[in-house]
Structure 1
Amino acid sequence: MKTRTTSAWTALCGALALTLSGMAMAADHPLLEPGKAFVDSRGMTLYTYAEDEDGKSTCNADCAKNWPPLMANKGASDDGDWTVVSRDDGSLQWAYMGSPLYTYKADKKPGDTSGDGKKDNAWQVARPVED
């Protein structure tokens, strides 16, 4: 009996890990790395999508599999230029100056920027707005 229970827990934990690995997670708003690009808590480059408008993400379903949204915790709140926006499924996502933020699944390590310029320049590395 112990083996079945252990196997069931192992399978459940594995399924949960696979589900969560497809989402970019953040407790607080993103960080600014030395190259002046915003990154998530793991140091992965963040991107904006030109088709997003008025603080609303248009990247859902298959798009969000390739460009995981930078999720915000349920209790997260706006902080200056950092805002929390609601996604179509009711989850929360971080945005910078109204632009929802995403990682790119093809970026494998911190500092990778392989998503920059994708889809005819619609995807851009998220950077601070200069005054």
Structure 2
Amino acid sequence: MNHIAQSWKALLVTAALTLSPLAFAAEPATMKDGMMVDHKGMTVYTFDKDKDGKSMCTGECATMWPPMMAPAGAKAEGKFTPIKRDDGTMQWAYDGKPLYMFMKDEKPGEMKGDGMKDVWRVVRESQK
């Protein structure tokens, strides 16, 4: 896939995450089969380089790892909290860790990003 097609795909996925019903749920993800998934069953990840509830994944990183976006007026529910990204948009965090999806996960249950570059982790039941 060429660079332009990848960029468009990333833009569409980010828009879909931003505009999806998921963004308006009190709890944007749930546990299924021992791992956290969104409302479509897609795997949810954390990034080890995020610190103090702040996302360090921007630019090209956020293209490959789209943030799990939250609506502007999102309220905290349990361990889920909305955090503000550097660009002013809101992102869901779980227990203070910003949440992401992975562009290469194509269907529910896939977790192709787990352990990638030794900094991306699937959110697992044992972390909950």
Give the shorter-chain TM-score range. 0.7 to 0.9
Structure possessing the higher radius of gyration over alpha carbons: 1
Q: Distance between the aligned counterparts of 1:123 and 1:109, measured in 2?
A: 18
Sort the Cα spacing of 1:128 and 1:43 in 2 relative to 1 into closer, same or farther, 3 A: same
Q: Which residue of 1 aligns with 2:44?
A: 46
State the TM-score, normalized to the length of structure 1: 0.78
Q: Is the contact between residue 30 and residue 38 of structure 1 (CA under 8 Å) also seen in structure 2?
A: no
| Paired residue type of 1:58 | M
> Structure 2: where are the runs of 5+ without partners?
1-8
Give runs of aligned pairs for residues 48-127 of structure 1, distance below 5 A.
Answer: 48-120=46-118, 122-127=119-124
Query: Percent identity between the aligned chains?
Result: 45
| Paired residue type of 1:31 | A
Sort the Cα spacing of 1:88 and 1:130 in 2 relative to 1 into closer, same or farther, 3 A: closer
Q: Measure how far apart 1:22 and its partner are.
A: 2.9
Between 102-111 and 24-33, report the one with greater CA deviation: 24-33
For this pair of structures, how many residues does the alignment match? 115
Q: Distance between the aligned counterparts of 1:18 and 1:64, measured in 2?
A: 9
Q: Which residue of 2 aligns with 1:21?
A: 13
State the TM-score, normalized to the length of structure 2: 0.80
